[in-house]
Structure 1
Amino acid sequence: MKNIFFVGLCLLTIVSAFGQTNLVIRVEDSLTHEPVIAATIRTVTKPVIGAVTDVNGIARITNLSADVKTLTVSAVGYTTGQFPITTGRDTLVFRLKPEVEAINEVTVTATRTNSRIEDLPIKVEVLGQEDMDEESAVVPGNVSSILGDISIIHIQRTSAVNGNQAIRMQGLDPKYTQILRDGLPLYEGFSGNLGVLQIPPLDLKQVEIIKGSVSTLYGGGAIGGMINIVSKSPTSEKPTFTALINHSGLKENNLNAYYSQRYGKTGLTLFSGYTNQAAVDVTGDGYTDSPQIKQFNFHPKFFYNPTDHTRVNIGYAFTQEHREGGYLPALEGTEPNAYRNITDLQRHTVDFDASHNTSENNSLTLKGAVSTFHRQNTDYRKLSDGRQSSIYLEGNDLVRFGKHQLIAGANLTIEAFRKNPDSTRLVDYTYQTIGGFVQDDWQVGEKVALQAGLRFDHHNTFGNFLLPRLSVKLKPADPWTVRLSVGTGYKTPNLFVNQTPGALNVSLIFPRLLPIDVATVKAEKSVGANMDIAYTKTFESGLSVQVDQAFYYTYVNSPVVSAFASTSSNLGAYTQLINAPYNLFSVGTDTYVRLEYKDYELYLGYNHTLSRRDGPSSPDPTDNSYLPLAPQDKFSTTLAWENEHFRFGIETAYVGTQYLYNNQKVANYWFFAGAAEYHYNDHWRLVLNAENLFNVRQANYETVVSGPITQPTFRPIWAPLEGRIVNLALKFTL
């Protein structure tokens, strides 16, 4: 009897053993593939059996019933996921997605494939939602401040009295940086001359920055780089409302509001903002260092998803602005004959974006924009009055097959300028560009990815352009990534782009401009190369490290520059555009380091750029002059600490080795800023911000304005004019 009982017990044990499973599981970060420590793994049904991962991300589960087919995995900072149990492997690997999507799951729209940033063969830097939320309270009026924090970008002020600014990338003139809004080139020609950086950040989702020549993507202009400003979209059926009020020591007042909500298949975002800034003379020389600005922005956008495969977005943007600078008593009415610079502008834009997924692997997209821009400017008591109408249309087809993402499309750009009666010698023109492009993203293997692109553009005035580009991404070993990119570009001549004067005292004000001689002035062509070596790792202590070392080179043939003309007016010699008798090149390195540990975050950036003329192409072979207003050294750093209710930050920037004309070197300077924020219940934020803490101003080094008050002369602007700026902002989010 005992033998029979023993045999039965053994048989029961064997049957039970065959009905149970022992598992070894490794939990990884889906992006970095680093082990996730202290992740909890458990069964979905009772009885609950589970385990916790060790320092290597490993957990072991024994005696698991064979009926269990799925396990749930959760960890702090990650989205909880369910994973199927597969057989035939010694170790199961489960990958968790980080919970903070704004930092780790960034989708880039500028490349048209809507790929994750870490999957792209081309290097893209993204300022995400968290950055936009912070900037909307620190500097509510525009995005220039946050862009200027990046070491490879230099914000150049182009006017001493009206506050206009432009963007330099990789040491090149501002005209070589292309600006997009939601993937649309809305700021070209006359309409891009003023106000691009007057875009408030409150309704922005992110800003995408692509360094180097990427003209293959959107046509001419992106020789030094491209910046895509992306609007928010509604994400919840619960309403979101944010209101912000700000006041600064420069007599600037901002009132901005943003609303978004989904209603089933439809959605809406709505931004409205008003800026009222008084003219201020900081230096005491009588001229406005900070102009008078009255600006209103209105930006509704409608979203419609009739099916799971189709979406349509339609937006409207309206901007109206009055801007006035010059001799302050003239603005106040006590010196009616003194110098004033007055600008009134109005911008209307209607844009749309429609896409339809014909299958899981094919997507058709049609997008475009129609805009009008009217600008009246009085400078030196001379009126310029013009209107530009612009159209951009694009259709593309994205196909995914195997390891390829292939996109092909065509676009049409129309830019029509019409002059109203004024005192300038400008003439009407209509530019039309028809382009076709194809781009293939090929994941060759686990460690190699390629992106090859080709564009052909036909411009009705300046001819044909063929633009090839090739990018390679290598993953030699975790956590290293290497990206290489070579591309070509072009830039058609345009009187109204953000030009830097080609020589000292050459004026770019509209009353002095002569029309372009299209028979003699040719488009600029370029070739550029970029290389990035990136290291990203999160250690067991919680320390996160990102290091990026970039190298770049750009060469521009026969750049279009402004020069003195043989004719003159009562304001002096006219200005004409010509192809320079020299070429340009820019070569440099850019170093980026970001450290995060618990409540602390540290950013370090250093950029070194050499930009100058290429002498052998010049009549004077010794002419190797540096490009004016292009700093050779820029160092940026940000240190921030945040807890449940407070955030403190300190920013530092160094601008050095900067030249004007004829290789005239100017002083190096440091720039410091600090911000303190108190937030309560995710609803209220109170921010105190101070820019330029030590009051660095160009007037501390030289006289900026000279000559009579009726016709003054202004020095080139190479340093801040306004000095210290302190602002206090209150932000409420529902």
Structure 2
Amino acid sequence: MRQRYRLFYGVIAYWLTLLAAHAQAVRLQVEDSLTRQPLVGATVRVESTPPTGTATDATGQATLPTLKPGVTQLTVSLVGYKNYPLRLTLPLDRPDSLLLVRLAPAEAALDEVVVTATRTNRRIEDLPIKVEVLGQEDMDEEAAVVPGNVGSILGDISIIHVQRTSLTTGNQGIRMQGLDPKYTQILRDGLPLFEGFSGNLGVLQIPPLDLKQVEIVKGSASTLYGGGAIGGLLNLVSRRPGPEPELTAVLNRSSLRETNLNAYYAQQWNPKIGMTLFSGYTDQPAIDVNGDGFADVPLIKQFTLHPRLFLTPTNGTRLNVGYTLVDEKRTGGDVAAINGTDAARTYVVGNNSLRHTVDATLDRQFTQTNTLTARGTLSFFDRTQVDNGYRFAGRQLSGYAEVVDYLEHGPHAMVAGANLTLEQFRKGLSDSTQITDYTYQTLGIFVQDDYTLGKVTFQGGLRLDYHNVFGTFFLPRLSMLVKPSTYWSIRTSIGTGYKTPNTFANLTGADARTSLSYRYLLPINTGTRPERSLGLNMDIAYHGTIGEHLTVQLDQAFYYTTISNPVVAVTGSNTATQTTVLQNAAYDIRSLGTDTYLRLEYDAVEFYLGYNHTSVRRTAPVRQGNDITAVGANTFLPYSPRDKFSFTLAYSIPDQWRWGIETSWVGNQYLYDNGRVPNYWFWAAAIERMFGKVSLVLNAENLFNVQQIQFGPVVTGPRNNPSIAPLWAPQEGRIVNLALRYKLKH
């Protein structure tokens, strides 16, 4: 009997030894499928009873020490990514191999988390600088709600204030961190297209249907893109063809008799060739909303055509080529004069503009960690303005070219490149303004390195620019990202910037008397100095889930910016003529503020709450040996609300209904000499009913019909030579529009 037990135990021990000899450790490397960055905290689970597993470390690696021979089913998962099933047959042919697993972002977040403006194409959670993204879903909704331009959706963000800069043209400027619109740089697909003469008319007349997303970089970004990105940067990203053909058409009609017809088509014919095509037309008659006889909404007739071709000749090589045509007529002033119904009324301000733009981008991926990008654009802009009988005409040729190399090496993600910017303005031959021709050229080189050390990422950037008129600029920047856990992040950034004097910069007058009309504008004095800036940004963010359905995103940001030598428009010393001079002010501009926002998503419910507090002052610098009192110093910067609340609530039933309501409160806004204007609320609501490929959208902006004329007259003085008050509140009143949308792919 004892010998039988010995034999039995011997057999068991033999098989256990044999199994142990064949048990194998499996090593995995888990990365983001888009950025190729290692993912920390991903779960690797063995589908057994009971299930076992482990998590990836700071390098994205995980080890399963003892897996039995045979078929083993694994699941790799991480919040915000699709689960990755992995079936293994053990033992492996190469026991020491490192299995590579790349997780794809979840469908709902795929278009919103990858940022291109930072040149590293990283997910938004991994960026050392603060970026907010309005993604494809936001653009699709806005394409039916406000199809004419993206200004409405940008104004919903608490840190952005959209200011109407002209009654006669209806143009708008974007203020970030309370600063003038000229300190916000606007890019289209990473290319600066709206600078100088071509940048101060209809910048926001870009239909959302043509966009994939809008990237909002908060704070200084001049190291990567040169002068101008002092308060922030907006990158408008065009759409690309997907795996299926797509056709979307939107027909819209508003209570102000505005008609929009926009269409977008995209198709990837084969792996090597694809295209997108956008075409849009807007017809808006001049409308006098408040009954004072002057157009609160100018006459607009605009046609836009934007085809793009996407080529992939070889694996790792991509070429995109595009062309944009914008032909626009825009007329404001006395409605009777515009319509020609009263010959005694003559006050008309008309603008005819034509813009041709070609652009190309070539990406060559040598390895998974090394990509070379070359891109460029050439734009021709022709504009003629008639200002109450006074004619001004000009043409601008703009060019931009850059070469950038992106390289990952260990914990480093490096970007190095060079670019050339050209801006050439030529005045019309029959023009009698005092504005002179100019040619500006800027050559820049830049380098940036993201160094990841555990839970901390350091980002250092340097830029050197040479301007053919205003000299050399050296721009350092340093940022740091700390991620104590998967859900929390802390960002700190300090950077420098500059802005060269420009005749056509979107300026705010130094006082209420200053006219910004071209007919009174004098050339820039050769002694005018460039503006310099220093910006500091910090934010603490949480992004995670509570339970199975509630997604929470909470962000608290702080910022400080100081600008020295600001160039402002002032009334000339010659009292006989109403001249306007651009000159350096005897004060600095300082912006100090906080920005708080909360986003919640619970199944089909979306909620956004934002609050921004900004104090922007003109502050006289301390000067030793001089007792200089700066005129207009120690006052609040005009048109910059100190407080702004934003609120959005939306609910949807997939493929049936969607409705939303939004509001913003604009408070403690000042004009000149610390003169405060009344606070106001702005409400909007929309509802959409979907019938398969067709949907109807009913939208109402400014529900309670807030108008600036309720607080005082907007236009005063002689009928044919009026004075227009500064615009600080809505001018158009309540707007209701009904849109019919057709989507081949839904």
The change in CA–CA distance for 1:234 and 1:496 in structure 2 (over 3 A counts) is same
Structure 2 counterpart of 1:703: 713
Structure 2 counterpart of 1:391: 399
Deviation at 1:75, TM superposition (A): 10
The answer to whether the 8 Å contact 2:24/2:69 transfers is no
- The CA distance in 2 between the partners of 1:500 and 1:446, in whole Å, is 46
Deviation at 1:82, TM superposition (A): 3.0
- The CA distance in 1 between the partners of 2:728 and 2:338, in whole Å, is 25
Deviation at 1:41, TM superposition (A): 7.0
- The CA distance in 2 between the partners of 1:300 and 1:438, in whole Å, is 33
- The CA distance in 2 between the partners of 1:314 and 1:166, in whole Å, is 29
Where do residues 107-506 of structure 1 align in structure 2 (5 Å cutoff)? 107-236=114-243, 238-263=244-269, 264-336=271-343, 337-420=345-428, 421-443=430-452, 445-506=453-514
Q: Which residue of 573, 582, 589 maps to 1:584? A: 589
The change in CA–CA distance for 1:183 and 1:503 in structure 2 (over 3 A counts) is same
The change in CA–CA distance for 1:270 and 1:586 in structure 2 (over 3 A counts) is same
Deviation at 1:14, TM superposition (A): 4.5
CA deviations over 1:104-160 (Å, ceiling 9, x no partner): 762111111212211111111111111111111111000001110000000000112
Deviation at 1:95, TM superposition (A): 8.9
CA deviations over 1:333-384 (Å, ceiling 9, x no partner): 1233421111100000000111212333322111110000001111121111
- The CA distance in 1 between the partners of 2:25 and 2:695, in whole Å, is 48
Q: What letter corresponds to residue 396 of structure 2 in structure 1? A: Q
Q: What letter corresponds to residue 82 of structure 1 in structure 2? A: P
The answer to whether the 8 Å contact 1:41/1:74 transfers is no
- The CA distance in 2 between the partners of 1:687 and 1:209, in whole Å, is 27
The change in CA–CA distance for 1:637 and 1:328 in structure 2 (over 3 A counts) is same
- The CA distance in 1 between the partners of 2:355 and 2:478, in whole Å, is 37
- The CA distance in 2 between the partners of 1:203 and 1:559, in whole Å, is 35
2:669 counterpart SS class: coil
Q: What letter corresponds to residue 71 of structure 1 in structure 2? A: L
Q: What letter corresponds to residue 257 of structure 1 in structure 2? A: A
The answer to whether the 8 Å contact 2:213/2:237 transfers is yes
Which stretch of structure 1 is more off in the superposition, 13-22 or 702-711? Answer: 13-22
The answer to whether the 8 Å contact 2:618/2:632 transfers is no
CA deviations over 1:561-597 (Å, ceiling 9, x no partner): 001113467xx51101010011110000000111111
1:655 counterpart SS class: strand
The change in CA–CA distance for 1:396 and 1:708 in structure 2 (over 3 A counts) is same
Q: What letter corresponds to residue 167 of structure 2 in structure 1? A: A
Which stretch of structure 1 is more off in the superposition, 108-117 or 127-136? Answer: 108-117
RMSD, matched Cα = 3.2
The change in CA–CA distance for 1:32 and 1:589 in structure 2 (over 3 A counts) is farther
The change in CA–CA distance for 1:543 and 1:80 in structure 2 (over 3 A counts) is closer
Structure 1 counterpart of 2:59: none
Structure 2 counterpart of 1:680: 691
The answer to whether the 8 Å contact 2:112/2:135 transfers is no
Which stretch of structure 1 is more off in the superposition, 358-367 or 93-102? Answer: 93-102
Q: What letter corresponds to residue 718 of structure 1 in structure 2? A: W
Deviation at 1:478, TM superposition (A): 3.8
The answer to whether the 8 Å contact 2:695/2:742 transfers is yes
Structure 2 counterpart of 1:46: none
The change in CA–CA distance for 1:363 and 1:98 in structure 2 (over 3 A counts) is closer
1:142 counterpart SS class: coil
- The CA distance in 2 between the partners of 1:52 and 1:544, in whole Å, is 27
Which stretch of structure 1 is more off in the superposition, 177-186 or 159-168? Answer: 159-168
The change in CA–CA distance for 1:164 and 1:150 in structure 2 (over 3 A counts) is same
- The CA distance in 1 between the partners of 2:100 and 2:426, in whole Å, is 63
The answer to whether the 8 Å contact 1:32/1:537 transfers is no
The answer to whether the 8 Å contact 2:117/2:235 transfers is yes
- The CA distance in 1 between the partners of 2:432 and 2:585, in whole Å, is 28
- The CA distance in 2 between the partners of 1:375 and 1:113, in whole Å, is 37
- The CA distance in 2 between the partners of 1:139 and 1:341, in whole Å, is 25
Q: What letter corresponds to residue 542 of structure 1 in structure 2? A: H
Which stretch of structure 1 is more off in the superposition, 166-175 or 501-510? Answer: 501-510
1:135 counterpart SS class: helix
Structure 1 counterpart of 2:676: 665
What 5-or-longer segments of structure 2 have no aligned partner? 33-37, 57-63, 623-627
The answer to whether the 8 Å contact 1:409/1:437 transfers is yes
Q: What letter corresponds to residue 432 of structure 1 in structure 2? A: Q
1:202 counterpart SS class: helix
The answer to whether the 8 Å contact 1:40/1:50 transfers is no
Q: What letter corresponds to residue 424 of structure 1 in structure 2? A: T
- The CA distance in 2 between the partners of 1:481 and 1:370, in whole Å, is 40
The answer to whether the 8 Å contact 2:682/2:704 transfers is yes
- The CA distance in 1 between the partners of 2:396 and 2:13, in whole Å, is 89
- The CA distance in 2 between the partners of 1:95 and 1:639, in whole Å, is 35
- The CA distance in 2 between the partners of 1:636 and 1:326, in whole Å, is 32
- The CA distance in 2 between the partners of 1:399 and 1:99, in whole Å, is 26
Structure 1 counterpart of 2:544: 537
- The CA distance in 1 between the partners of 2:644 and 2:245, in whole Å, is 42
Q: What letter corresponds to residue 524 of structure 2 in structure 1? A: I
- The CA distance in 1 between the partners of 2:257 and 2:426, in whole Å, is 36
Deviation at 1:425, TM superposition (A): 1.5
The answer to whether the 8 Å contact 1:32/1:479 transfers is no
1:729 and 2:739 matched? yes
Structure 2 counterpart of 1:511: 519
- The CA distance in 1 between the partners of 2:290 and 2:413, in whole Å, is 56
The answer to whether the 8 Å contact 2:385/2:391 transfers is yes
Deviation at 1:641, TM superposition (A): 1.0
User: Normalising to structure 1: TM-score of the pair?
Assistant: 0.91
Deviation at 1:397, TM superposition (A): 1.4
- The CA distance in 2 between the partners of 1:568 and 1:200, in whole Å, is 44
- The CA distance in 2 between the partners of 1:153 and 1:122, in whole Å, is 17
CA deviations over 1:489-518 (Å, ceiling 9, x no partner): 000111112111111120111111111112
CA deviations over 1:459-504 (Å, ceiling 9, x no partner): 1111111000000001123421000000000001111121111111
- The CA distance in 1 between the partners of 2:335 and 2:51, in whole Å, is 70
1:624 and 2:623 matched? no
The change in CA–CA distance for 1:190 and 1:95 in structure 2 (over 3 A counts) is closer
2:139 counterpart SS class: helix
Deviation at 1:717, TM superposition (A): 0.2
- The CA distance in 2 between the partners of 1:77 and 1:458, in whole Å, is 43
1:638 and 2:648 matched? yes
2:578 counterpart SS class: strand
Deviation at 1:97, TM superposition (A): 4.2
Count of residue pairs brought into register by the alignment: 714
- The CA distance in 2 between the partners of 1:621 and 1:710, in whole Å, is 33
Sequence identity (%): 54
- The CA distance in 2 between the partners of 1:708 and 1:311, in whole Å, is 59
- The CA distance in 2 between the partners of 1:25 and 1:367, in whole Å, is 40
